[in-house]
Amino acid sequence: MAKHRLINLLLLVAILMVSSLASASEFSNYISLTYIASRYDPYIQYRVSHGDKPDWITTSLMIYNYSGVLYVIKTYNDTVIGFNLSNENKGYVISHVKIELSNVTVMTVLPSGVRPPIFWKETDVLSAKTEKSHDPDFKDWTWYVFKLRKVTITGSYLIREFDMQVVKDGKAYGHTMLFDNPLHPLENGSTFSRYPFRTVIGRVTVDNKNSKKWKNITYYPPLKTVVTEEYSFNLTQPFGKGYPIEIVQMATLIYTFDASDGKLVFTPNGGPDLWAVGILSASFSDEYGLYQVEVKHDDSYAVGLVLKSFKMGVKKSGTVSFHKPDVKTAYVFYGSLVILLTTVGLTEVKKRRR
């Protein structure tokens, strides 16, 4: 009888552990999410053979506001973006963003007397070129073109937990693009972003059947895709008359979430989470996925900026554990399995003895 009680207790513990693990799969239990837009040479060769200039084929194209100066950033090797989430008191999560780019061209145009502020390491500069502006209205301006081995951009912002708003310096930029809260999901007509660009969700679709993949990773259904209504904006270098750097005649924001727990799986664009760290415009192209879709005609691949890895666990307060592998949950899972098997084994042995 006492042994039965022990077995029941062990089973209960095992069930509790497994169930606590299952419920851990929501926003508050993610400690990091890493996304990639990878370079894939066969795709570049395919595009070039169809007449594209190699210069056009990027894994990301971004406009970055650094110290009040706008830069055009084109990345030709991998683009990797990591979001590291840790607890901040009073209902906020702090998100540390790390954008790692390799084989990069950085451009800007500035009036005389303004030097381009540097956000890269001098040792990573492959070439630096200046050219006087040929715009009649900006005769005393100069273009700067830097070719860089690699660039790392970092920044941080807050996510307000009760309404999932991206907050930076007291300003709400809009709904985070990293999570769609299953309890308060994004719906048709709901406001998505607020600042600097206002957008509204225009379409929501849920795919309950098909999974998507990327290399050896499978993203299982249900997958939920939200698309905003169209919006437009101009990005101008904020000196004098303002030099138009990018004219966006039309843009939409598209995100595909894992509908079971709400995390972002892939997207071709940026959003409030990147606007808050200065990336005001972004376009991502995972060339591996594009090759499968466009050349192999296999639609089951994720494209854009694709979820490469994530870590779950208990968020630490204010600290960052980017390189620390999260093995605790795995121990709990396998530990409970071992306990379950042992108890089953013990009962079997007991039965046989009888």
Which residues, including other chains, have CB under 8 Å from residue 254's CB and lie 6 or more apart? 225, 226, 227, 228, 267, 268, 269, 304
Residue 314 CB, nearest approach to another protein (Å): 35
With CB under 8 A as the contact rule, which of the stretches 119-127, 150-158, 167-175, 242-250 interacts with another protein? 242-250
Q: Tell me, residue by residue from 141 to 180, as one string, x for binding to another protein by CB under 8 A and - for no binding.
A: --x-x-----------------------------------
CA distances (Å), 191 to each of 122, 179, 250, in order? 42, 15, 18
Q: Supply the DSSP symbol for 111.
A: E
Q: Which residues sit opposite 30 in a β-bridge? A: 312
Q: Residue 55 or residue 169: which is nearer to another protein going by CB?
A: 55
Compute, in degrees rounded to 10, the torsion defined by CA atoms 158, 316, 153, 90. Answer: 10
Q: Which residues sit opposite 32 in a β-bridge? A: 84, 311
CA distances (Å), 58 to each of 283, 300, 311, in order? 9, 22, 28
Q: Residue 299 or residue 348: which is nearer to another protein going by CB?
A: 299
Residue 134 CB, nearest approach to another protein (Å): 5
Alpha carbon 193 to chain centroid, angstroms: 16
CA distances (Å), 164 to each of 113, 161, 182, in order? 42, 5, 11
- Taking CB under 8 A as the criterion, the residue among 303, 311, 312, 343 binding another protein is 303
With CB under 8 A as the contact rule, which of the stretches 28-36, 164-172, 203-211, 239-247 interacts with another protein? 239-247
Q: Supply the DSSP symbol for 293.
A: I
Q: Tell me, residue by residue from 247 to 286, as one string, x for binding to another protein by CB under 8 A and - for no binding.
A: xxxxxx-x-------------xx-----------x-x-x-
Q: By CB under 8 A, is residue 207 in contact with another protein?
A: no
Q: Residue 202 or residue 313: which is nearer to another protein going by CB?
A: 202
Q: By CB under 8 A, is residue 204 in contact with another protein?
A: no
Q: By CB under 8 A, is residue 50 in contact with another protein?
A: yes
C-alpha to C-alpha distance for 43 and 306, rounded to whole angstroms? 17
Of how many residues is the chain composed?
Answer: 354
Q: Residue 22 or residue 250: which is nearer to another protein going by CB?
A: 250
- Cβ–Cβ contacts within 10 Å for residue 93, how many? 22
Q: Residue 66 or residue 284: which is nearer to another protein going by CB?
A: 284
Q: Tell me, residue by residue from 84 to 123, as one string, x for binding to another protein by CB under 8 A and - for no binding.
A: -----------------------x-x--------------
- Could you tell me if 235 and 249 are in contact, meaning their C-beta atoms sit under 8 angstroms apart? no
Q: Residue 163 or residue 299: which is nearer to another protein going by CB?
A: 299
C-alpha to C-alpha distance for 237 and 245, rounded to whole angstroms? 6
- Taking CB under 8 A as the criterion, the residue among 5, 90, 134, 296 binding another protein is 134
- Taking CB under 8 A as the criterion, the residue among 9, 131, 203, 220 binding another protein is 131
Q: By CB under 8 A, is residue 56 in contact with another protein?
A: yes
Question: The dihedral of CA 129, 133, 139, 141: what is its sign?
Answer: negative
With CB under 8 A as the contact rule, which of the stretches 49-57, 208-216, 315-323, 337-345 interacts with another protein? 49-57
Q: By CB under 8 A, is residue 44 in contact with another protein?
A: no
- Cβ–Cβ contacts within 10 Å for residue 126, how many? 11
Size of site (CB under 8 A) for another protein: 39
Residue 220 CB, nearest approach to another protein (Å): 20
C-alpha to C-alpha distance for 167 and 92, rounded to whole angstroms? 9
With CB under 8 A as the contact rule, which of the stretches 21-29, 127-135, 146-154, 213-221 interacts with another protein? 127-135
Tokens 């379409």 appear where?
203
Residues lying near another protein in the complex (CB under 8 A) are found at 50-53, 55-56, 61, 72, 107, 109, 131, 133-136, 143, 145, 227, 243-252, 254, 268-269, 281, 283, 285, 290, 293-294, 303-304
